[in-house]
């Protein structure tokens, strides 16, 4: 009986000390983000590429609208990857890097220092991923990415949670 009590106490203490689950970006939320970014681009008559990554830089969702340039595929992915690696806007990172001697972030392989890559944070301010847009100007790419991030925020509000969770 004593052994069973110790085992139960050990199990209970382990479960209470376990780390909270890692935040994750759900597929339905990524799709809602892409829909919002695409709508924002279409409203201004642009065709874009949308790349959404998880917080580790892995591709979660990708969309290429018709009549986009092939080069925009890689640019969107690089912008998203950059904002996933450093949870900061790719344009802000470009400004930071330009202000330092030798532009250090500019020499990191696989990074692209142009506007249009934004980090995604959940309601608890935890980094869950990033979105990268290419196909318009860097400033418009950022605006379209922002529309996607705003859709994520709406998805995570109690009012829209069911819509974006796929349930």
* Residue 110 belongs to a domain: yes
CA angle 19, 25, 30 (to 5 degrees): 175
* CATH code, 118: 3.30.450.150
* Residue 19 belongs to a domain: no
Per-residue pLDDT reduced to its tens digit, 84-143: 998 999 999 999 999 999 999 988 998 999 999 999 999 889 999 999 999 999 999 999
Statement: residue 71 has pLDDT above 80: yes
* Residue 123 belongs to a domain: yes
Residue 163 carries which DSSP code?
H
* Residue 16 belongs to a domain: no
* DSSP per-residue string spanning 91-112: HHHHHHHHTSTT-GGGGSTT--
* Residue 152 belongs to a domain: yes
* Residue 103 belongs to a domain: yes
> What is the reported pLDDT for 8?
47
* Residue 5 belongs to a domain: no
Write the CB contacts of 61 (distance below 8 Å, at least 6 apart in sequence): 27, 30, 31, 33, 34, 50, 51, 52
The percentage of residues in the chain with a pLDDT greater than 70, rounded to a whole number, is 82
pTM of the complete model: 0.84
Domain count for the chain: 1
* Residue 18 belongs to a domain: no
Statement: residue 166 has pLDDT above 80: no
Beta-bridged to residue 61, according to DSSP, are 52
Average pLDDT over residues 63-76: 97
Domain with 51, as residue range(s), is 24-165
């Amino acid at each position: 009986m004593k052994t069973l009590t110790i085992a139960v106490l050990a199990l209970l203490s382990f479960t209470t000390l376990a780390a909270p689950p890692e935040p994750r970006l759900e597929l339905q939320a990524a799709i809602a983000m892409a829909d919002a970014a695409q709508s924002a681009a279409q409203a201004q008559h642009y065709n874009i590429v949308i790349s959404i990554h998880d917080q580790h830089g892995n591709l979660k969702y990708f969309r290429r609208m018709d009549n986009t340039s092939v080069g925009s595929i890689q640019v969107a992915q690089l912008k998203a990857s950059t904002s996933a690696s450093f949870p900061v806007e790719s344009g802000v990172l470009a400004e930071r890097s330009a202000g330092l001697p030798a532009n250090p972030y500019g020499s990191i392989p696989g990074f692209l220092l142009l506007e249009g890559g934004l980090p995604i944070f959940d309601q608890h301010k935890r980094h869950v991923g990033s979105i990268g847009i290419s196909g318009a100007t860097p400033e418009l790419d950022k605006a379209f990415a922002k529309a996607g991030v705003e859709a994520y925020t709406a998805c995570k509000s109690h009012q829209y949670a069911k819509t974006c969770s796929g349930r």
